[in-house]
């Protein structure tokens, strides 16, 4: 019979972390499930860990299930009214922004916690805050003003190789992108990549993050669907640049993706809490916030920063694998988030929480990358620290057609003609990501000359996207 008893090390192997949960499991199994073989006990406990809600009313397993259920912070809710008028904010490239997007930003600036705001020229309608919206609060964080894809970011690596290698070795570059990258909503990386981010203690700080660690490990180094991509192209660095490298044309690798399932789960979980404790009028519920001094607010801030670092790690893995395969020597890497919130000191010395949803940080001299589309130029830029824009810039060209409109009004043949004319090889991709679904990147860049200085121009040549 002794061999049928569970031990702490058995439970640790299947996901038990706390001593309390281990003790509960051992006692419950010994008292109420002593007839089961040890293997069957472990199988039952594994099922409980995966779906604790299924055992929430079980006569014997309820106390153990509660240890693994997501513990929503119970706080008294507060109802808020919006301001009658929106706080004033600066709009850049207003002629390129539709009325619905302006209305949505107006709604955000009516929040009682809104302090400052700005709208970038690539802006279009999103959930809660528009894509391309920047919103500052005093001590509140709005999960949907950060976005579902926390830490979605750009990463650009310039290699110590002239750009003519792109045409010379096009097949090898294409195969490297095809075989060393993986795309999709639930894509799991074969063989699992390694990165120190997975060893971060934050993964054990909350039950939500503990449960997401396995998914994060499996998806490390992969990219999502939609407008996420990894591509080779030609980067022309201008004569007067802040990169401390000679002007010229270099081969560059550019990637765009975020924190995968980790970030989405964190965003959804804490948005639910925010909407429970912060009651807003109909039409603005997605802008519910968490006070950063509350338990849920502190948890979200920790999880958001971890998700941002995880997103960076995914890019690091992608760029490292491709460079290693092709024996490329890195010259410089430029990277930036565009779905995040920062604590930033203002000119008057006040610290605000600056949400940038689809917006690039652009402090004085800060480097970033603004992509166009699969056939149009992207721009390596440095910020000018414009305070009216909350030191921000656009995160891309911005959509002019929704995905559904692009699918119904654009054709694959027109997209293929455009790619052929621009000498772009596309792996994957679909008509909803057609270059014609996006605004004119030249106009968008031109509308923010006050905000950024162009350091280099990138032209895509081999583009990899989800199918």
- Domains (range + CATH), the chain: 2-68 (no CATH), 150-195+205-258+304-342+355-465 (3.90.1860.10)
Count H helices and E strands in the chain, helices first.
14, 19
Longest Cα separation, the chain: 79
In the Cβ-directed half-sphere of 394, how many Cα atoms lie within 13 Å? 35
- 71 pLDDT higher than 80: no
* Residue position matching structure tokens 């801030």: 301
More confident residue, 53 or 152: 152
Whole-angstrom CA distances from 282 to 30, 285, 286 are: 52, 6, 9
- 377 pLDDT higher than 50: yes
Contact indicator for 197, 310 with CB cutoff of 8 Å: yes
- 75 pLDDT higher than 60: no
Q: What confidence score (pLDDT) does residue 67 get? A: 82
Alpha-carbon torsion, ordered 452, 458, 460, 466, to 10 deg? -40
pLDDT tens digits, one per residue of 438-466: 999 999 999 999 999 999 999 999 999 99
Backbone angles phi, psi at 80, to 5 degrees: -125, 145
3-class state of residue 449 by DSSP: coil
For range 319-334, the mean pLDDT: 96
Residues paired with 462 in a beta bridge: 232, 425
Q: Percent of the chain at pLDDT above 90?
A: 78
């Amino acid at each position: 019979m002794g061999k049928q008893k569970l031990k702490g090390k058995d439970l640790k192997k299947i996901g038990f972390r706390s001593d309390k949960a281990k003790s509960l499991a051992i006692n419950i199994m010994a008292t109420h499930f002593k007839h089961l073989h040890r293997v069957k006990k472990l199988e039952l406990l594994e099922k409980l860990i995966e779906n604790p809600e299924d055992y929430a009313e079980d006569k014997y397993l309820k106390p153990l299930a509660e240890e693994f259920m997501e513990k929503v912070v119970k706080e008294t809710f507060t109802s808020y009214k919006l301001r009658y008028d929106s706080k004033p904010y600066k709009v850049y490239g207003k002629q390129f922004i539709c009325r619905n997007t302006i209305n949505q930003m107006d709604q955000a600036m009516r929040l009682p916690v809104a302090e400052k705001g700005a709208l970038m020229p690539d802006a279009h309608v999103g959930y809660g805050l528009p894509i391309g919206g920047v919103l500052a609060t005093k001590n509140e964080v709005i999960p949907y003003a950060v976005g579902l894809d926390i830490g979605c970011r750009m990463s650009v690596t310039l290699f110590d190789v002239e750009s003519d290698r792109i045409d010379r070795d096009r097949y090898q570059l294409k195969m490297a992108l095809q075989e060393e990258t993986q795309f999709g909503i639930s894509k799991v990386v074969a063989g699992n990549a390694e990165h120190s981010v997975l060893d971060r203690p934050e993964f054990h700080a909350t039950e939500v993050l503990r449960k997401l660690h396995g998914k994060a490990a499996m998806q490390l180094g992969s990219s999502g669907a939609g407008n996420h991509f990894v591509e080779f192209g030609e980067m022309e660095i201008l004569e007067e640049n802040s990169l401390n490298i000679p002007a010229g044309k270099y081969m560059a690798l550019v990637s765009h993706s975020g924190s995968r399932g980790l970030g989405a789960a964190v965003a959804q979980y804490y948005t639910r809490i925010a909407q429970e404790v912060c009651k807003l009028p109909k039409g603005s519920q997605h802008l519910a916030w968490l006070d950063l001094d509350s338990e849920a607010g502190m948890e979200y801030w920790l999880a958001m920063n971890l998700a941002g670092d995880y997103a960076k790690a995914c890019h690091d893995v992608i760029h490292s694998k491709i460079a290693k395969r092709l024996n490329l020597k890195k010259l410089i890497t430029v990277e930036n988030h565009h779905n995040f919130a920062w604590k930033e000191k203002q000119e008057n010395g006040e610290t605000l929480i600056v949400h940038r949803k689809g917006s690039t940080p652009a402090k004085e001299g800060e480097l970033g990358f603004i992509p166009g589309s699969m056939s149009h130029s992207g721009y390596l830029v440095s910020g000018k620290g414009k305070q009216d824009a909350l030191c921000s810039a656009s995160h891309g060209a911005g959509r002019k057609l929704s995905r559904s409109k692009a699918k119904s009004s654009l054709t694959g043949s027109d997209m293929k003609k455009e790619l052929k004319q621009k000498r772009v090889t596309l792996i994957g991709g679909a008509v909803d990501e057609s270059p014609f679904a996006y605004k004119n990147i030249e106009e968008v860049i031109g509308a923010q000359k006050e905000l950024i200085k162009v350091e280099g121009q990138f032209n895509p040549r081999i583009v990899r996207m989800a199918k």
